[in-house]
Structure 1
């Protein structure tokens, strides 16, 4: 029974670490680039808005 308990605990820890690694990898490969792109777009919008206002203030 002692070996079974150790095996179950090891399996739970290994599974949890595999899931955590998958979530971290997904975040780095999919979510982070989208957030970076949105931040770039927002910065470009701000700059364009400033240029537009500056051009019309003569």
Structure 2
């Protein structure tokens, strides 16, 4: 079984932050599930802040 973890997030983070997030998720999956490294897939789906809102207010205005 190949676990695939998809994270939806507002854009604006640095490459380093995103890499740290993916590595952390990878480690959590590796420690929790008995799967080979190459089967663990992590995807980040970034949405521009003006296209994402909370409570009716765009993230770009928060």
**TM-score w.r.t. length of structure 1:** 0.36
Structure with bigger RCO (C-alpha 8 Å, 6+ apart): 2
TM-score (norm. length: structure 2): 0.34
